[in-house]
Structure 1
Amino acid sequence: MNKIYPYLVFILALTFSNCTKDLEDLNVNPNASTTVVPGYMFTKAQLDAVSNNYIGAAYLTIGGSMQQTATYKEVPAAGDKYFNETYSYTSWEAYSTAVIEIQKVMDAVAEDPEQTNLLSIARIWKVFIFHRLTDLYGDIPYFESGLGLNGTYSPKYDEQSVVYADLLKELDEAAVALNADLPSYGNADLIYGGDIAKWRKFAYSLMLRLGMRLTNVDIAAAESWVRKAIEGGVVLADVDLARIAYVDGSQISQRNFIASGLLNTDYLNQQAVDNIEGGKLAETFINHLKNTNDPRLNVISVVRVRNATGTFVPDTTSSLQMGMPNARYNSFPENFATFSEPNPNTILRFDAPHLVLTPTEMYTLLAEASLRGWYDTDAAELYTQAVQSAMRQWALFGSYAEIAQNRIDFYLSGNPFASSGTFEDKLEQLYTHLWVSLFLQDEYEIFANWRRTGYPILTPVNYPGNLTGGTVPRRFVVPLTEENYNGENFREAVQRQGGTNALTSRVWWDQ
């Protein structure tokens, strides 16, 4: 035994060593590249940024609280009844997807002067990712985010005012650095195909958006950034509209994520009387469209009616459209089938485009700038342009959705700009119209503009057991896991923002 033992130890040690090596090899994906390909990673960052937590955040939380959607059920009633904060947690997952992805792109191209455009566009897209995060949560990890591979596992939270200052600085520098003589992303860029001129307009458009966000906290900075954005040139022409095209194919990732999300939840079975999440379009939203004779009603909304064979078919007749009241029901309403829902021929198409940033938003912001004396163009004309572009953009959803010019003119004649009204009257008209125009495309901006301006005017609900005391939510709740994994920085940020991590606490610019 004494002679055998040393050999046994040697054999066991060798075996353990080989097993360990085998396990390490098994843990490596042979089909994965260890080198970042900037174009591929940028494509992924674009897709993940726009689609992150869509159902939980945009549809159930913001859509309900902004009274464009409603539900009779309690579990999905994050916005409808202010009853569930957990859906807001998941937007934080952008840190594990889009944030890391765009940081990898930037790291891969930062040292190569020939790839200045790739870096500059990535910086602009990083602003898009982070401005959405900070607008939802307030103080967030920013300067130390996306650095886990470098050993930063507990990033500090930066004050939103500091984050905003850097976001605006990044847009300014990146827009100037764009160079038409250098290569770009080409087809890897799903929005503009690498078009430098359009990305410059996109950068200044984000600058206009963020600059106007400062009106209640730093009016001088707001004016300065708005003027700079206008001088740089923003997205105003239809051809410059930022959008991602999707296709109706077998690959789920190629389908429009909004249509996929809604069809996999409430509208999975068009012949079912009930919906999975109990959702419909909201009474506030539908009534506004009907009361203003808005031609988008027939493009956006349908009521399912039974035909002679007993089959449900979509009907766009205006008089039939009826929205479901927010927080009215807690069990299946007998008239549930009579409430309006999204049009399957437009919004629920897998090949519908996603509109990332539109001229109608820019015209609206410019109209406000005009009202404030920061832009020398008549606000009434800018409002008209905002309406025209908002109506025209539906043509991107197919000929079925195209709105004829005579219907646009009829809407404008019935809803002229409130030129003789007060500043607030005009602001209300501008942002109530934008509330309609951004429906199911950018609920995040609807939520941000409502918090900053107070428009559209919404009547809060007070459902029993709600989490806000019967007030419309003001922000998202940082996931409670942060207290476990990054507790010291998390608690410091909470105290800095009023001491509560709740739907009722406010971000810095929401004064």
Structure 2
Amino acid sequence: MKTIKLLILIIAGMILLSRCDDFGSVNVDPNKVSTPDTRYLFMYTALYVPNFAWVGNYDPWNQLYPQYIAERLNIQYSNYAMTEFNTSGYYRRMIRNLDDIIQLCSDEKTKGATWVQAFGKIENQIAVARTLRAYAYMHLTDALGMIPYSEANKALEGLYTPKYDTQEFIYTDLDKELNEAFTQFDVSAGLDGTFDIFYKGDMNKWKRLNATLRMMMAIKLSKVAPAIGKTRFAKAYADGGITANTDLFKYAYLPENANANPLWENMILDGRWDFVPSATIIDQLKAYHDPRLKAYTVPNENGEYIGLPYGLRKDDLPSWQTGSYCNFHPKYYKQDAAITIISPSHALLLCAEAAVRGWIGADAESLYKAGIEASFSQHELEYDLDAYCAQQEVEFAGTEEQKIAKIAMQR
């Protein structure tokens, strides 16, 4: 009888122990984040922001397709043979993180948490996230047309096949998003400048970027919906876009292999030197006697500025592999060389085009020259602006169409 009672007690004890779930931190995976910190969500997102300006060093289509660079070793990508565009990285690594920041800063259960508040005022976090998200969607729809937008990134809600929205709908909603974000910015309170690697927490600069993005979208409506484009551009222009090089929107790489400039990785780390300046842009700079030629490239061994022809056939390539062409200026392939994403020159030239079209009440020629001067200054060049702009190819003269063509060439 005693033996039976003892067995019962032992079994009961084992059952109680098996039901006990208080094992301290045994069930916590130290390799997984249990409380997502918006500071680190933002920094991870920042890694992918420059991808629309230079997407790594394997297939930099956004530099190859407009013929800024040419392929030196192999003809793989410059024949416009891209058959698919993988968007998973943009949605998964960039837009999803921005969505999470907005959600964490909006949810009553999380917005007061220290790991949300630590980055800075939540209204500014939301405004910055909405601005960068619009930047990403703008480029995606520009490249692809209809894309998942209103139903994107909702798999956790059971939506696995999001609909494709029209570009018209996306542009309209992005303009609304950016305008609402603009009013959310609180310039009296910034963000932690250690983690805001773009503008060091300066909300005035983020507001100017926000307005510039709206101008970039609005000017593209000049053919399909000019009345709407004019209204949107005028509002953004009045809000004030980027005009000074101190507001340059850029991504600064680091002097370490884990986050190094893509050209440095290709040329110095890997020793490949796959890309060089193309003849398309070199010949144009030479024709304009443009001082930016020396800022962009260095001459060949004979002291000549010769760009590599774009899109050579593979059979023609060997004759060009002797090094008779010029190369990038070394400042572009330093390990920590920054990549310019949106410059004040670009923004000012957008305004010049809008002025030519009559969308804003500003002097188009003054904006045109200011855009050129901002570019010269960005590259720390010595220049004679009046002499440069007096050239027939550059002079701000001719029909409206000719003036817009000159603005577009400078941009």
Give the TM-score, by structure 1 length: 0.68
CA contact (8 A) 2:70 2:276 kept: yes
Which structure is larger by alpha-carbon Rg, 1 or 2? 2
Q: 2:286 aligns with which of 284, 290, 296?
A: 290
CA contact (8 A) 2:57 2:266 kept: no
Aligned to 2:70: 70
Aligned to 1:157: 164
Q: 1:217 aligns with which of 217, 224, 234?
A: 224
Aligned to 1:494: none
Q: 1:338 aligns with which of 294, 300, 324?
A: 324
CA contact (8 A) 1:383 1:417 kept: no
- Alignment partner of 1:333: what SS? helix
Identity %: 25
State which drifts further: 291-300 or 184-193: 184-193
Q: 2:180 aligns with which of 164, 173, 177?
A: 173
Distance of aligned partners of 1:55 and 1:119 in 2 relative to their CA distance in 1, 3 Å threshold? closer
Distance of aligned partners of 1:208 and 1:286 in 2 relative to their CA distance in 1, 3 Å threshold? same
Report how far residue 409 of structure 1 moved: 5.0
User: Which runs of structure 2 are paired with 1:95-494 in the superposition (5 Å)?
Assistant: 95-111=91-107, 112=111, 115-249=122-256, 251-253=257-259, 255-256=260-261, 258-260=262-264, 262-263=266-267, 268-269=270-271, 277=274, 279-305=275-301, 317=303, 320-331=304-315, 332-336=317-321, 337-343=323-329, 345-394=330-379, 402-406=380-384, 408=385, 410-414=387-391, 417-434=394-411
Distance of aligned partners of 1:284 and 1:182 in 2 relative to their CA distance in 1, 3 Å threshold? closer
Query: Which has the bigger relative contact order, CA under 8 A and spacing at least 6?
Result: 1
Aligned to 2:38: 38
- Verify: 1:85 aligned to 2:70, yes or no: no
Structure 1 Cα separation of the partners of residues 86 and 73 of structure 2 = 20
CA contact (8 A) 2:53 2:339 kept: no
Listed as ranges, the gaps of 5+ residues in structure 2 are 1-14, 19-25, 113-120
Which digits, 9 at most, give the CA deviation of each residue in 1:291-324, with x for residues without a partner?
A: 111111112112453xxxxxxxxx8x4xx11112
Distance of aligned partners of 1:219 and 1:149 in 2 relative to their CA distance in 1, 3 Å threshold? same
Give the TM-score, by structure 2 length: 0.83
Report how far residue 374 of structure 1 moved: 1.6
Which digits, 9 at most, give the CA deviation of each residue in 1:13-71, with x for residues without a partner?
A: x9xx9xxxxxxx89x75133121111111111122122379447996434333222223
Given residue 258 of structure 2, which amino acid in structure 1 is its aligned partner? I
Structure 2 Cα separation of the partners of residues 53 and 151 of structure 1 = 34
Given residue 82 of structure 2, which amino acid in structure 1 is its aligned partner? E
CA contact (8 A) 1:69 1:281 kept: yes
- Alignment partner of 1:414: what SS? coil
Which digits, 9 at most, give the CA deviation of each residue in 1:59-107, with x for residues without a partner?
A: 6434333222223666522xx222x215x52354211210111111111
- Alignment partner of 2:366: what SS? helix
Structure 2 Cα separation of the partners of residues 32 and 209 of structure 1 = 39
RMSD value, Cα: 2.9
- Alignment partner of 2:86: what SS? helix
Paired residues, what number? Answer: 377
Structure 1 Cα separation of the partners of residues 344 and 273 of structure 2 = 35
Given residue 35 of structure 1, which amino acid in structure 2 is its aligned partner? T
Distance of aligned partners of 1:260 and 1:238 in 2 relative to their CA distance in 1, 3 Å threshold? same
- Alignment partner of 2:233: what SS? helix
Listed as ranges, the gaps of 5+ residues in structure 1 are 1-13, 18-24, 270-274, 306-314, 395-401, 435-511
Structure 2 Cα separation of the partners of residues 107 and 162 of structure 1 = 23
